[in-house]
A and B are shown apart, each in its own frame.
Chain A
Amino acid sequence: MSKQNAIQLKGVNKTFDGFRALAYADFTARWGEVHALLGENGAGKSSLMNIVAGLYGPEGGSLFIDDNPVKLRGPKEAAKLGIGMVHQHFKLVTPFTVAENILLNLGHIQTSGLYRERLRRVSDDIRAMADRIGFDIDPDAPIHQLSIAEQQRVEILKVLLAGAKVLILDEPTAVLTEEEAERLLTTVRGFAREGAAVILVTHKMNDVLRYADQVTIMRGGRTITSLRPDSVSVDELVRLTVGESTTNADQPSANRTPGEPYLRVSDLTSTGGRRALNGLDLTLNRGEIYGIAGVGGNGQSELANALMGIPEPVQGEMEIIGEGYLADLDADRRRVLGIASIPADRYGSALAGPLSIADNFALGDIHSGRYGPFWYLKTRAIEADAAEAVRQFDVQGVRSLKQKAALLSGGNAQKLVIAREFSRPPRLVLAHSPSRGLDVKATEAVRERLRAARDDGAAVLLISEDLDEVMAMADRIGVMSAGRIVAEFSQPADRQAIGQAMVNHV
């Protein structure tokens, strides 16, 4: 028996501000199936589904619903056609109750009758639907009292009560525990068995293997293939998803003798809210690059923030051997000790976009007094140093040092950050997704700097969701999953083994 096509996308393109998110992507989901959309971060999965849900308009390509061509003008139209999407970031009004949130969404319900009537009707509908699908939700509970898993259920109810027959879930298990994830996916599979089309956007191999009837793999904005998960081996799936190693750079050999330990992290755990970090231990030696590989969302950002001194609620110890605890060091001390931080969020934590390049650069060495005492800022010295740094680090697009930093392209902004952080020879380099959004040339330049720092004896921590990058750069690799380092590998490391470690603990 062949099932009918529910949703079909053909040859869809989408560009954001110069970045090619989707390139001739195809996708077909059928009724009655759980269809997984699998790929790494940045593969284009969310963008593709946002088009189906009417949030983005496709540039070229076409969308078919039930084999009829459709042009969606907005999410409300998509909802009317029975498409419902549950996003990663819930769109719930936290102080309101479940019923109130759902009532908000059902604007088209015309009831004559008092507000109380409507609310009661909605509550009844919620209970009925919840019972039917096995959710345990109290319509009168305020959202902020619900757990993340429960809030997700509210989003699902919201979409179902609006009449969705095509259910798209964007990385639904990213925020759930294993138990909760199982419950959710089983429920969702139940929907499919009843005839709905369920699309599961995910990067978790296990979920795909256990719950999906069909899987479409995406990489770099393209659809690689679409097949039944039980028709290939796990290894093959991994290979299709992470790809072969594409960089030309050789992997570091095993002949590097590591120096003494420099940074020791013990039992780092998140306090409050979600347990992003869960007892993480890590030792970083001088003269090595330690790469942290892992699927995004396993605590990497929290680890990076905690190490870089960006406010992050954690407990545990981060010790610079011989100098003290990282948490006790203020910015001055960090600079003096030669701690260089390259955060992932360039304009949120590293560069002040509205300020000039010179201003941004100055903060690198200002505490040493190199740029004058308080009462006189030696702007010329700053500009001289900045000009030299721009030259040395090959920051392009600088017409004037006084121009706003925000005008620099991604790659050059990153080079500026590194130029600033390396104003003094670094002894500890903390880099989080340093080549994200950079082109090949800029990426190489960045990597060169990190290697050079390592060669000069610095301890370099590289957190990256790009496995290629970690493989090419790191002397030692730690796989991070669910808030801790679950496996360590020395180079030359087996890519498959790393891939397995990344997915098996999910």
Chain B
Amino acid sequence: MDLITSWIGNIPEFAVPFALAALGLIITEKSGVLALGAEGLMLVGAVAGIGAYLTFEQNAVALIMAMVAASVVSLLFALMVLVMRINQVISGLVLVFFCQGLSTLFGTLMGWTNQPVPGLGAIALWPLSELPYVGRLFVQNIVVYLTPLIFLMAVWALYRSTPGLRLRAVGENPQASDAAGIPVLGYRLAAIVVGAALIGLAGAFISVLSTKLWIANMTGGRGWIAVALVIFARWSPWKALAGAILFGCIEALIPQLAASGIKLSQYFVFMAPYAITLGVMIWVAIGKRDTSSQPGALGAPFIREERT
């Protein structure tokens, strides 16, 4: 039963990157901007996090620099999508490609590849940490504990504040928002940058705190899973968190399966997250044809009608 305890204990570590990335995507997409660049921004966050740690030897600094780096890179995306009104799908893809190249380059040229970092120590939440089987759930690093708080803050900001109302209005009906005097592009820019910061944090979590080193393209598609997560969580932060936990469970299972000696090719287990994502998308499409939770204006560039 060691395996089960081990498995459960690892779930949060695998779930957090999905959760943070999904939350970042939700914030951006709630404003009506289709954000496909998560995979790229996660990589930027990951390499920046490691690089910052190797330079400053402070975890907090590393995580913050990762968020800043991702936000800065997202400005390029904002330029493409908000100013030049380039197709948002292409912009997202190009961003991923750009970030993949950029992050690998930095990692190699600055000599950050494969340099181990110590990560953060785990904090045990006594007495919960003494529980049988699930005890390890409560022995995690501080960012894991912060994640639910971040979610709470984000949900509060989105749903219980006036700027949040305006952001959502911009995503549902930019024409109506514009008529009400809300600066549509301004809100979208803010959404892109804030979302990017969270996605960068997710990436840095993987590199600095989880794997504790940088290898090129180490996110391995997690950014894309986060994109899918957001779609079938129907843009609801709590549902996305639940989905992230689900995927955390699956990913945490992988090392346990290998250790258990079960004769299943590990690669089929690696496939599982993607296959399940696909399955859920199909299931959701069959079940309800209701796209009413999709932000009404998602993906459409906003051009104000001539007002002369």
Q: Do chains A and B touch in the complex (CB under 8 A)?
A: yes
Alpha-carbon distance A315/B139, docked complex (angstroms):
63
Task: Check A104–B169 contact: CB distance below 8 A.
Answer: yes
Residues of B within 8 A of A96 (CB): 165, 168-169, 172
Residues of B within 8 A of A114 (CB): 160
Count residues of chain A with CB under 8 A from any CB of chain B: 22
Residues of A within 8 A of B172 (CB): 93-96
Q: B115 near A: Cβ within 8 Å?
A: no
Query: Nearest chain B CB to A113's CB is how many angstroms away?
Result: 11
Task: Check B180–A107 contact: CB distance below 8 A.
Answer: yes
Partner of B162, one of A57, A95, A118: A118
Alpha-carbon distance A296/B71, docked complex (angstroms):
51
The digit string for B263-307, where 1 denotes a CB below 8 A from any CB of A, is 000000000000000000000000000001000100000000001
- Most B CB within 10 A of own CB, among A55, A76, A95, A107: A95
Once A74-B307, A96-B172 are accepted as A-B contacts, the answer to whether A91 and B179 lie under 8 Å apart by CB is yes
Alpha-carbon distance A75/B169, docked complex (angstroms):
18
Q: B182 near A: Cβ within 8 Å?
A: yes
Once A91-B179, A115-B160 are accepted as A-B contacts, the answer to whether A104 and B307 lie under 8 Å apart by CB is no
Partner of A94, one of B161, B162, B173, B177: B173
Q: Restricting to A105-138, which residues have a CB under 8 Å from any CB of B?
A: 105, 107, 114-116, 118
Query: Nearest chain B CB to A160's CB is how many angstroms away?
Result: 15
Q: A103 near B: Cβ within 8 Å?
A: yes
Task: Check A95–B292 contact: CB distance below 8 A.
Answer: yes
Once A76-B181, A100-B165, A118-B162 are accepted as A-B contacts, the answer to whether A94 and B296 lie under 8 Å apart by CB is yes
Task: Check A93–B162 contact: CB distance below 8 A.
Answer: no
Task: Check A115–B176 contact: CB distance below 8 A.
Answer: no
Q: B136 near A: Cβ within 8 Å?
A: no
Once A56-B307, A104-B169 are accepted as A-B contacts, the answer to whether A92 and B176 lie under 8 Å apart by CB is yes
Task: Check B181–A107 contact: CB distance below 8 A.
Answer: yes
Task: Check A55–B307 contact: CB distance below 8 A.
Answer: yes
Residues of A within 8 A of B175 (CB): 91
Q: B166 near A: Cβ within 8 Å?
A: yes
Partner of B307, one of A57, A92, A103, A115: A57
Q: B308 near A: Cβ within 8 Å?
A: yes
Q: Restricting to A162-218, which residues have a CB under 8 Å from any CB of B?
A: none
Q: Restricting to B135-188, which residues have a CB under 8 Å from any CB of A?
A: 160-162, 164-166, 168-169, 172-173, 175-177, 179-182
Residues of B within 8 A of A75 (CB): 179
Q: A105's closest neighbor in chain B, by CB?
A: B180
Would you give 20 A-B contacts (Cβ < 8 Å), ordered by A? Answer: A56-B307, A57-B307, A57-B308, A74-B307, A76-B181, A91-B173, A92-B173, A92-B176, A93-B169, A94-B173, A95-B296, A96-B165, A96-B169, A104-B169, A104-B182, A107-B180, A107-B181, A115-B162, A115-B164, A118-B162
Query: Assuming A96-B168, A104-B180, A105-B181, what are 10 further A-B pairs, CB within 8 angstroms?
Result: A55-B307, A56-B307, A57-B307, A91-B173, A95-B296, A103-B162, A104-B166, A104-B169, A115-B162, A115-B165
